[in-house]
Amino acid sequence: MAINVNVRVARAVPQVNTEGLTLVIFKNARKSASVTDTIVEVNTLDSLYENFDSTANTTLVQQKELYIAEYLIRAGVNLLCYSTDVAGTIDADDIAAFDDIEVLDYKMVVVPYDFISAANPESLLLAFAKNNDIQLFMDLDPESDSSTVAATITALGTNVSAKLELFTNSGLASFGSGYALVPAEFDVDKDFFGIPASAVAVARKAMLLKDGTPWLPVAGETYGMVNEFYSLFTRLSTAEKEAFQAANINVLLTKAGVGNLFVSQNTLCPYEVGEESNPLIRSHVVTEALYIKRLLKRVAEGLMYAPNNIKTWNTFSLKAKALFSAMQDQEGIEDFSVQVGKGITMTEQDIADGKFKAVVTFLPIRVIEDITFNIVIQEMADAYQVEIVGGDL
């Protein structure tokens, strides 16, 4: 009697995540000499290093950028990789090279180790993001404190928009000569070790987009744990954390018993007393709103050149309500409404001119920002009374 147990390796097939497609801009890493494409689509490590091989990228700063691309691929993010026309600089020629978003269809943009500051505001890139339906993920200079953050925000000026995600890398060490394991070619004035928080956020957002749940906040113990960081070298006080979040900047912090957390500006939404809070300073609401825009555009493409009559209006209403009902069932939105029709969103002249107008409204999920527990000490065993206010202790 023979018993045979055979073992073989089944090669993994990479899962294509086009919903989370991300443009990675290499300011320093260069393409291989044989590559003629301006933008290279990459979803495997082999493809990355076929198009950006080591012979074309020999410096540490180039290798670090490729390392971030490798991290994103391992995290399941499909990439469009682009090397700038001039090493170290993003200019107008670069913007023109990746401007056709309708064809390329990427959702996010990240520039590995490109630290934004008053001296490096990346105005062209910020203006590009502001005018297109993409989110731009950027890191603040690692040496930023409250005063340098204020100077940076001022320098960014009119290019700041809801589509810009800013991060402070409190979890990454700025290394100097005192660290024996740091390579000698490190520039101690600008280099540090680790994965920038912007790349961590892109990986998380891409996963949520792939799962069709972009409304879940990148925060809290369930969604915000960052395993890539072994420890945080800079501990943020509550006041420091709130100061960063008040400027719409994402932070990393350590929570006792949990570990490293990535806290987005969707928590602690800043607003003045008596003023309504603006949902577009919440990271997950911006991602969700752009996701909804893309869904509605797909619905609109199916209606183009259809008769501008009540049958078409009802068709749109049914499709839009189906989309929002599905989101509501998955706890992505609290409430919604769809309005369309003559005398509601369109006039007789609009219809005569071939114009279709509809209004869709949704209330995004709010995260818990304030928690109150009231403890009541009972006087007698048979006395039960619900108390809604706190005691005197």
Residues in a beta bridge with 259: 255
Total of domains in the chain: 2
| CATH assignment of the domain containing 120 | 3.40.50
343, part of any domain: yes
13, part of any domain: no
pLDDT tier for residue 312 given thresholds of 50, 70 and 90:
very high
d(CA 174, CA 184): 14
- First-last CA distance in the chain: 78
293, part of any domain: no
Do 346 and 253 belong to one domain? no
Per-residue pLDDT, averaged over 133-156, amounts to: 85
Q: What is the domain extent for residue 63?
A: 18-268
Do 195 and 336 belong to one domain? no
Per-state percent for the chain, helix, strand, coil, to nearest 5: 35, 20, 50
278, part of any domain: no
Average the pLDDT over each of 52-61, 84-93, 120-129, 231-240 and give the range with the smallest value. 231-240
Q: Which two tokens stand for residue 345?
A: 């969103």
At residue 148, what is the residue type?
A: T
283, part of any domain: no
Q: Give the angle subtended at the CA of 170 by the CAs of 167 and 176, to the nearest 5°.
A: 120
Q: How many CA atoms lie within 13 A of 226 on its CB side?
A: 32
d(CA 23, CA 92): 16
pLDDT at residue 131, as a whole number: 93
d(CA 235, CA 254): 7
Do 124 and 206 belong to one domain? yes
User: Any idea what DSSP says for residue 266?
Assistant: T
Do 196 and 330 belong to one domain? no
Cα diameter, the chain: 87
Do 79 and 216 belong to one domain? yes
Do 373 and 237 belong to one domain? no
Q: Lay out the sheet containing 39-42: strands in order across.
A: 39-42, 79-83, 22-26, 108-116, 135-140, 164-167, 249-255, 259-263
pLDDT at residue 189, as a whole number: 46
281, part of any domain: no
377, part of any domain: yes
Do 229 and 332 belong to one domain? no
Q: Of the residues 247, 268, 289, which one is the last residue of a structural domain?
A: 268
Do 48 and 162 belong to one domain? yes
Do 264 and 328 belong to one domain? no
Tens digits of residue pLDDT in 285-296? 899 999 999 999
pLDDT at residue 267, as a whole number: 56
Do 257 and 323 belong to one domain? no
Whether pLDDT at 193 is above 80: no
Q: Of the residues 268, 289, 314, which one is the last residue of a structural domain?
A: 268
Tallying the residues shown for the chain, one arrives at 393
178, part of any domain: yes
Do 236 and 100 belong to one domain? yes
d(CA 88, CA 95): 14
Per-residue pLDDT, averaged over 186-203, amounts to: 73
pLDDT at residue 92, as a whole number: 96
CB neighbourhood size of 278 (10 A): 13
